[in-house]
Amino acid sequence: MRTILFRHRAAGYVIAVLGIAVVAATLKALGHHINTTTVALGLLLTVLFVATRWGSAAGLFASALAMLCFNYFFLPPFGTLFIASPDNWIALAAFLITAVTAGQLSASAKRRAEEAEAGRLEIERLYAELRDAFERASHAEALKQSEKLKSALLDAVTHDLRTPLTSIKASITTLLEAARATNDQEQITLDPESKVEMMEIIDEECDRLNHFIDSLLELARIEAGELQLRRRWGNVDEIVSSALVRAGVITRNHQLELAIEKELPVLRVDARAVSEVVYTLIENAAKYSPLGSAILISAKREGDGVIEMSVENEGEPVPIHLRERVFDKFFRATRDADIKSSNSSGSGMGLAIAKGIVEAHSGRIWIEGRNGGGTRVVFVLPIGDEDGERTVNDDEERPVGA
């Protein structure tokens, strides 16, 4: 670094000598056509150049050299450092003062410009450092949030696994106690009906665990973008009636109303998956509405090539600020939003899966309020065409009519 600086300075002195020599020689060669003012200005320019480029020391050196050249070659008597006329003394002094002052001024202007540039670079560097630090902090915060989310999801999953296990364990231990009880140890009197009820509970809770695990897998497939749609031509009536058959037990204490528009076009969808969506919506509608109230399932054509289906209940409306969140996985209305349910709370996966299925069909699902109270969950699906996603077994012709 020091060697470079030394070389830079030495170059300034060399250029000063060369520059002054070239300018002086050129002016001298022009001879009597040039007056002393022109000579002084020519040399002054050289001094300014050196001072600006190589700083004040080189500038001072160039000023002294220019003054000597001016005196030696251009002020009579020529070829000596002696000056005969007092006018020329004044000219020489004026030249020296001007050269030194102008040289120092231009050098200092250059220095200031350099300092300003260095300041700018420093600010840029600090800004970049600050930005990096901020990015690192945001990254750390995002990681923390992601860890928190993971832990919340784990809590939700363990709760959903443990709840059916609790019922199973309590039932089994009661049955075991009854089976082991001897006649003289009549602590427990479990009648056959109670035994059957316990076994039914075990059966139902095993199904619930199995359903929960299936849902987890399906959600994982949706999130990984690996949901395999088996698209075929199917009609809305079949989709809805298959969902209704499944929901028979859940909806036995509700009044079901159907409003399916006549002559709806057939849809090119994965009927089983869409029926799952309808089932989930009916299940939720029943769960979050009073026993005996009505559930309305409707389907109609909505614009060109789109079918709209909806399920409405007469329960508590979902608050506006939760209408997006209810589609988040593991969001549970009873636990996270204090919404009353007439049944056990769900797994918090039903609507997340429904949304995944609808979106995989390029459709959209949302929740809206209902006139006179209650909630309406709506989804729209494009009818689809032959260019839609095909599967291996997809070789059926489009049927005529619905």
Partner 1 sequence: MSENERILVVDDEPQLTRVLRTALKSHGYEVRTAADGLSAFETFNDWKPGLVITDLAMPTMDGLELCRRLRASSEVPIIVLSAKGEEKTKIAALDLGADDFVTKPFGMDELLARVRASLRRASKQSATETPPKILEAGDFRIDMETRLVTVRDQEVHLTPKEFDLLTYFMSHAGKVLTHRTLLAAIWGGNYVDQNEYLRVFVGNLRKKLEADPANPQYILTEPWIGYRFNP
> Which residues of the shown chain bind partner 1 in the complex (CB under 8 A)?
155, 158-159, 162-171, 173-174, 177-178, 187-191, 194, 197-198, 201, 204-205, 208, 334-335, 338-341, 343-345
Nearer to partner 1, 135 or 200 (CB): 200
The number of C-alpha atoms within 13 Å of 136 and in the hemisphere containing its C-beta is: 6
CB closer to partner 1, 83 vs 157: 157
Task: Please report how close the Cβ of residue 348 comes to partner 1 at its closest, in angstroms.
Answer: 14
Question: Rounded to the nearest whole angstrom, what is the least distance from the CB of residue 355 to partner 1 in the complex?
Answer: 24
Task: Please tell me the distance from the alpha carbon of residue 358 to that of residue 379, in angstroms, as a whole number.
Answer: 7
Buried b (16+ CB within 10 A) or exposed e, 2-16: eeeeeeeeeebbebb
Q: Label residue 200 exposed, middle or buried (CB < 10 Å: 0-12, 13-18, 19+).
A: exposed
Q: How far is the CB of 147 from partner 1 (least distance, A)?
A: 16
Closest approach, Cβ 323 to partner 1, in A, equals: 19
Q: Is the Cβ of residue 288 or residue 379 nearer to partner 1 in the bound state?
A: 288
CA–CA distance, 168 with 359 (Å, rounded to integer) = 36
Q: How far apart are CA 128 and CA 41, in angstroms?
A: 47
Query: What is the closest distance, in whole angstroms, from the C-beta atom of residue 203 to partner 1 in the complex?
Result: 11
d(CA 367, CA 373): 13
Here the contacts of 156-163 (C-beta below 8 Å, separation 24 or greater) are: 156/330, 156/332, 156/348, 157/216, 157/330, 160/212, 160/347, 160/348, 161/209, 161/212
CB of 287 to partner 1, least distance (A): 11
Q: Looking at beta carbons only, is 155 or 386 nearer to partner 1?
A: 155
- For residues 201 and 264, which CB has a smaller minimum distance to partner 1 in the complex? 201
Judged by beta carbon, residue 241 or residue 343, the one nearer partner 1 is 343
Task: Burial-class residue 167 by CB neighbours within 10 Å (0-12, 13-18, 19+).
Answer: middle
Taking the complex as a whole, the smallest distance from the CB of residue 202 to partner 1 amounts, in Å, to 9
CB-wise, 270 or 283, nearer to partner 1? 283
Q: Are 375 and 351 in contact (CB under 8 A)?
A: no
